[in-house]
């Protein structure tokens, strides 16, 4: 079966750095997405990785290791507005998105 | 601004009373998706349309139907809602199928079944 694993919940402090991990087992791989979802709202696109390595975009970076089936999302200089769920999703061999259940990130002052 | 629009944002229906959720897009994307998302769970794909080509997920209940009368609009019909169908319903689009393009989501419709 296809599976995406990420922690259910994480807590971090405003101004700090947090890393949210995602491991996956899917039938084929055509890239990995990270989406941010605030409570009661739709997911919004953060990043896309298809090659190994780190992609940096402002305060957010995303890393991929295809051989390990592993990705992480790194958030720097945390702000209160970063409190949200972060969803990892993998595009499988049929170009279907397989979603993780999301990691709820709680930011404390 | 080009976008994905869902109406209504909040819908209350009675147990067993048919309900229709609507989605429209101004992105001119070929692919439209309907997802069901329950609290603290991953979005679950119900259907997707590539142009007029309808694709039903194997585990989508028969109680759920969809229509796409034209490129811009897509509807989700729930024929006899049960209490277990209470969820957020997300419409999304992507430019093409079979590519690595991101999906663009509408704001969602939160369905309550009483």
B51-85 pLDDT, tens digit per residue, is 888 888 888 999 999 999 999 999 999 999 999 99
pLDDT digits (tens, 9 = 90+) for B10-48: 999 999 999 999 999 999 999 999 999 998 889 999 999
Distances (CA, A) of B30 to A90, A96, B27, B94: 21, 15, 9, 7
- Overall average pLDDT of the A2-6 stretch: 92
Closest CA to B4 of B101, B110, B104, B102: B104
DSSP, collapsed to helix, strand or coil, labels residue A77 as coil
Confidence of residue B99 (pLDDT cuts 50, 70, 90): low
DSSP, collapsed to helix, strand or coil, labels residue A82 as helix
Is a pLDDT exceeding 90 seen at residue B101?
no
Is a pLDDT exceeding 80 seen at residue B93?
yes
d(CA A25, CA A38): 26
pLDDT digits (tens, 9 = 90+) for A61-106: 999 999 999 999 999 999 999 999 999 999 988 888 899 999 999 9
Spell out which residues of chain B touch residue A48, defining contact as CB-CB under 8 Å. Answer: 100, 102
Chain A nearest-CA distance from B102, in A, is 7
- Overall average pLDDT of the A41-47 stretch: 90
Per the prediction, chain A carries an average pLDDT of 94
N- to C-terminal Cα distance for chain A? 40
Q: Does B69 touch chain A (CB under 8 A)?
A: no
Q: Which residue of B has its CA nearest to A30?
A: B100
CA angle B43/A32/B73 to nearest 5° reads: 45
Tokens 């209490």 sit on residue: B83
């Amino acid at each position: 079966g296809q599976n995406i694993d990420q922690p259910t919940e994480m807590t971090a402090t405003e101004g700090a750095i947090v890393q949210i991990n995602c491991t996956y087992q899917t039938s084929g791989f055509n890239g990995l997405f990270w989406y941010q979802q605030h409570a009661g709202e739709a997911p919004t696109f953060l990043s896309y990785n298809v090659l190994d390595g780190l992609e940096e975009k402002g305060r957010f970076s995303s890393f991929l290791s295809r051989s390990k089936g592993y990705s992480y999302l790194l958030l720097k200089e945390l702000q209160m507005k970063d409190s949200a769920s972060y969803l990892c999703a993998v595009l499988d061999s049929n170009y279907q998105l397989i979603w993780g259940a999301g990691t709820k990130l709680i930011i404390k002052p | 601004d080009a976008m994905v629009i869902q109406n209504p944002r909040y819908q209350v229906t009675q147990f067993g009373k048919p309900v229709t959720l609507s989605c429209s897009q101004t992105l001119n994307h070929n692919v439209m998706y309907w997802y069901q998302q329950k609290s603290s769970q991953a979005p679950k794909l119900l259907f997707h349309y590539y142009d007029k080509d309808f694709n039903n997920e194997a585990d989508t209940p028969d109680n759920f139907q969809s229509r796409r009368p034209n490129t811009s609009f897509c509807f989700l019909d729930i024929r006899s809602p049960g209490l277990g169908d209470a969820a957020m319903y997300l419409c999304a689009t992507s430019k093409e199928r079979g590519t690595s393009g991101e999906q663009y989501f509408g704001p969602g419709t939160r369905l309550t079944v009483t």
